[in-house]
Amino acid sequence: MHFLGAILLTMGAAFCWLPSSVSQAPPPPPKKTIYDNLLTHLFDKYAPSAMPICKVGDKLEVSQDMLLYQLFDLDEPTQMLSVDVWVESTWQDCRLVWDPASFNNVTEFAIKSEQIWYPDLIFYESLHGNFEEGMFIYGESTARVRHDGWVKLGAQALFKAFCRVNIRQFPYDSQRCNITFSSWTKDARTFRLKRKSGETGDKKDHAFAEASNGEWEVTGFPSYNRMTARNIGVLENETAEYTEVVFQLRLRRKYLFHQTYMLFPCMLLTWLAAFAFFLPTECGERIAYITTILLSLVVFLLLVAENIPRSGDAVPILGVYFCLAVCLVSVANLMVIASYNVSLKPNDFCPPEWLRRCCFRLGPLVGFLPTHHNGRAKLLEFRMNPRNPTASSNAEAVTTAAADADGDECRTEDAPLADESADDKTAKTAAAARPGNANTWRYLGIVMDRLFFGLYLVANLIGTVWILAAASAATAGESGTN
């Protein structure tokens, strides 16, 4: 029993001693990365707000570059450009220099941008609702630092910029949108912003081939340096020069959509309006036909107005063509009304002598050759049935009456109506029974229709050739500048 008690006492003492011995053991030292000593060496007394100029009189040079990933949209009514880009700045920080051999052969490392100094760049054309998004473009991006002090800071961003759209050549237009970078507070005395060195000058630099979208083709994205003087402070005479880097996005519109769904239907409607002059006068649908085409053109004109900026500086060539088409069809409507007025004159009105002579001379020009009958020239070379089938007993009398209309007694539109006796009324009734005057008016109306058709055809052809030539010139001009 004494031996068993000694064993239990020994085991209890051992258990009591074990926790105290474990708690008194020193913790293992934390492991260090290969960057710890380097970061401590570089950022022990580093001030991120101080610009890295280590010598008096030196200037800090920052190289700016931008790569276009994707063109999202160029909204003409709001003149807003939306692009997906990669923005990158490169400079040398004299405080971030080390010997790789002394720090585990580390030649570069990555670090958050807020832990180092970086340029306060903005782009002037920003349309961001939040001012900070347009002012500090890098935000929480990551920078790469090399052992010789060179820092490269880049970020992918969606820019919404203002782009003034020139609509004069719409839809065969080309646009140029600038994205201008500059420092917000540092002028040219201590800070110089320049485009990335080593550029080849190719106009397609900084843009991927897939950057174009369905409406616009990217023809170039060059950059250039610029010096601008702007005010500092409240007083207007306090000015300073600031360095800027301008990236110019060059776009050319793909006009197939507008040409197929807007221009060609308009051309088709204007050419269809020409056939109104071939409709018979008796059908009574010529004015309705022209008016329907006119309303269709007005609808197309409204579609054009909705897709272009509301600008008073210029009128697009497509809008000019639509306005000309509307005016042309409106004039054609007036021509049809004039032809109606002539063709449907009653029998008791004689055509004026000057109108008869004009139509007699213009008849051969529009396809009506004069013939001769009994030594006298006839206006009609074809046989026409009278509008009133009871007015004549045979067609030969109709043609003869039309040919000898010069000898018929009738009155003009402005002749006063005198008191008529019974014999005069009988004579007038007999003269009205002859269809010569009615057929003469119809002949004059047909000649006017043919003449109006020729004039409309020439005017429409000139307008069509003009719009096609303007489109070709705009396309060739843009190809020459690129």
Domains and CATH numbers, the chain: 39-254 (2.70.170.10), 262-468 (no CATH)
pLDDT for position 479: 57
> Which amino acid type is present at position 421?
S
pLDDT for position 271: 92
pLDDT for position 80: 92
> Which amino acid type is present at position 460?
N
pLDDT for position 441: 75
Looking up tokens 């030594």, which residue turns up? 375
- Six-digit token pair at 346? 């009653």
- The count of other CB atoms within 10 Å of the CB of residue 70 is 16
Distance CA 417, CA 438 (A): 20
What contacts 296, CB < 8 A, 6 or more positions away? 269
Question: 131 and 279 in contact (C-beta within 8 Å)?
Answer: no
Torsion-angle region of 147 (φ positive above 0: left; ψ -120 to 50: alpha; else: beta): alpha
Looking up tokens 């109006």, which residue turns up? 452
Q: Mean pLDDT for each consecutive 10-residue tract of the chain (482 residues)? A: 56 52 62 88 92 91 93 89 93 94 93 91 78 60 93 91 89 92 89 79 61 89 90 71 94 90 91 89 84 91 79 82 92 90 72 68 59 43 46 42 44 48 48 54 79 90 90 71 56
What contacts 149, CB < 8 A, 6 or more positions away? 92, 93, 94, 95, 96, 97
pLDDT for position 409: 47
- Six-digit token pair at 207? 């843009």
pLDDT for position 99: 94
Closest CA to 450 of 386, 383, 369, 385: 369
SS3 445: helix
Distance CA 170, CA 299 (A): 18
pLDDT for position 207: 72
| Cis amide bond preceding 171, omega within 30 | yes
pLDDT for position 395: 40
Report angle CA 205, 222, 211 to the nearest 5 degrees: 55
Looking up tokens 């020239």, which residue turns up? 377
Count H helices and E strands in the chain, helices first: 11, 13
